[in-house]
Structure 1
Amino acid sequence: MKGFVLSFRSEFYKSRKTMGFWGAILLPLLISLLAFAIFFTKSEKFTAMQPMGLWVQFSMIGLGMMGTLLLPMYTIFIAYSVNNVEHKADTWKTIFSLPISRWSVYGAKFVYAVFLVFLCLALFALFTIGFGNLLSTLKPELKFNEYHMEVQLMQIYFKLFLSSLGILSIQFLLSLLWADFLKPMGLGFVATIVGVTAASKNWEYSYLFPYAHPMVAITTMIKQGDKARGPVRELQIDMFTKDVYVSLAIAVVVFIAGYFIVRKKSVK
């Protein structure tokens, strides 16, 4: 356990100045600021909306972006960046020669990548809630304060987090096997396009394809309403759906397989 903690702390110090780390903070901040600016400058367009629809419309700016391309691509980038530190500096041999088990090194790297994805999505939820409440103060005509959506937003983003773990595990393993940028990132990008296409076309087996899981999670939670009642009528949050179970299963299987690959990895 001590070796795991030391390795995890080392990952933080190595990545704290990288785009992977700061992306987890800046990505939700910038997109939430964009949503805030749209509602602040165009508030007259939203004054007639009911409080729940207002919250959903506001949160969908971030959710729509994350559920389509941004979350899969950010997850792919995180998986690559965590291992690229060692590839770039050619320090795998040094790490594996330390008196720390390979399990601790491998586990700490994977958990740190999971932590960065979790941090990014948690900040999305917090910034959405914070900026929504700020809008209710600055623009009282917007009725954000008449409906509370904190719990639902936390659930939605947590489900997105669970749906990303399958992608993360696969890309983490690919970035261990290949030191170059193009192979893991290229395969991940192509797979993401295929997954988004499959989910957007409502392919019945899209839940089996991990790169489709974020978009499947969004489309199954956000129910469209009739235009008379606003663009979105209701949220139906079922946390553990088929796609989430598949994502978790893939994450566990690939994580274990990755460890056996690392255990036999040559460092000569």
Structure 2
Amino acid sequence: MIEILSPSRVDRARRTGALVGDILQTLRRRTEVGTNLLTLDRWTKELIEEAGATSCYVDYAPSFGRGPFGHHLCTGVNDAVLHGRPRDQVLADGDLLSLDLAVTLDGVAADAAISFVVGEARPAESVALVEVTERALAAGIAAAQPGARTGDISAAIGAVLTGAGYRVNTEFGGHGIGSTMHQDPHVANTGRPGRGYPLRPGLLLALEPWVMADTDQLVTDADGWTLRSATGCRTAHSEHTVAITEDGPEVLTLPRAA
């Protein structure tokens, strides 16, 4: 299903997106050496409920997972890059943490992810991984112009990732979003310009470049959810929900306050 949202529903999406951005910013601010992943999940639950919103993850049970997910936040540490199921794990100095959050408010969903290094250590490889996913995300957003196609976004993202020397996995990527979290069209993290679904005002896309330091292969944890790099290398993931408008792309999941 592909949804084209009315202007009033895009307004509602703006509120949802701001909430997602605010929650991720709050979690990043609270995260420190010694924070438990289950504590992050509990904080997320509290923040979602305080806002009168609903988690997209708790009852999420797609074909590729061992559902339902049962938590409010995806937490990926070091080699875990996607669908990280929170567990009893304490963060250490220098850990590379990815947080992925999707909520529904007033009938419209928004989805975003951030990656950052915990504590005072700044491993060069981790910093480079985060930086390249953020640059790729910015390039994808810039390409999300009305009249362009999803392939233009994919090509822009892929050019940044491969240009930095990373291999790109195409099993998981960006996606349409609206009344539900995951919709068509799929937006791969590499592709050919001029191909794919045409971008129209009212279309919402969750764009999410992610990379692994030395592989493009994934393995799945025994929990049936957490996806890790096949080599154990570090990983990073950045994501925003973007609305296609007559005036160009609008990022909906920026936090309202730093």
Length-normalised TM-score, structure 1: 0.30
Q: As a proportion of its length, which structure holds more helix?
A: 1
Q: As a proportion of its length, which structure holds more strand?
A: 2
Highest Rg: 1 or 2? 1
